[in-house]
Amino acid sequence: MSRAGGMTAARRDSAAGDIPVDTPRLPAREAAESELSKPMYHENDPNFLQRALNQFWDWVAGVFDAAAGAAPGGPAGLVVLVVIVIGLAAALWWRLGTPQRSSRSADALFDSDGPRSAAQHREAAETHAAALRWTAAVQERMRAIVRSLEERALLDPRPGRTADEAAAEAGRTLPEHTARLRAAARSFDDVTYGGRIADQPTYLSLRTLDLELDEAKPLLPGTSRGVTG
């Protein structure tokens, strides 16, 4: 072999050695996945709960961004709308009380332990008052008021009657006490369904009303207000 021929063969061999070896695509991907699946690459990965929280906050951020884009004034306008909604919800809660008001039982005013007389309700109210349990005292005193009106035939006994309904009906025959009857019913509703706590002045107000109603003369049908028959 001539020297020139040997040089040419050597160049071919050198060029052939510089060509990279092609690895098929699928085996290469499988090899990469196998390598990356080793625990050493996942020591600092977030756990399942962290990943779920991250996805949740990403979703919240997406909702907020979408709402901010649709709200007048952008993010600032959205904040104002949220504040307004919270204010309206607070006002409704204060006026209507907890959702228990809308799910009253059939015996909303009276307990389901069986009918008791006005005297029994008064005695229970005084017992609660002596123990400073003003909420229970207010409830029992309001029941005493309504039961007394039923015993005097100023109200027809009717199961399921609410304090508001009793006050409205009693106000027709005792018009001079209408406002105070409605105030007493509101106090009953507030402590029974609105989750509020009664105090001594509230109880004493109902107690005074009960005593006055016991001596009040009803307005008979066909009688003008202020004229007794």
Residue-wise pLDDT tens digits, 83-139: 777 877 777 776 555 444 444 443 357 765 567 899 999 999 999 999 999 999 999
* Average of per-residue pLDDT across 193-212: 94
pTM score of the predicted model: 0.51
Residue-wise pLDDT tens digits, 41-89: 656 666 777 778 778 878 777 776 776 666 566 666 667 677 777 877 7
Dump the DSSP string for the chain: --HHHHHHHHHHHHHHHHSPPPPPHHHHHHHHHHHHTSGGGSTT---HHHHHHHHHHHHHHHHHHHHHHHSTTHHHHHHHHHHHHHHHHHHHHHHH-SGGGGG--TTSSS-SS----HHHHHHHHHHHHHTT-HHHHHHHHHHHHHHHHHHTTSS---TT--HHHHHHHHHHH-GGGHHHHHHHHHHHHHHHTS-----HHHHHHHHHHHHHHHHPPP--TTPPTT---
Listed range (55-59, 144-148, 166-170, 207-211) with the worst mean pLDDT: 55-59
pLDDT at 216: 87
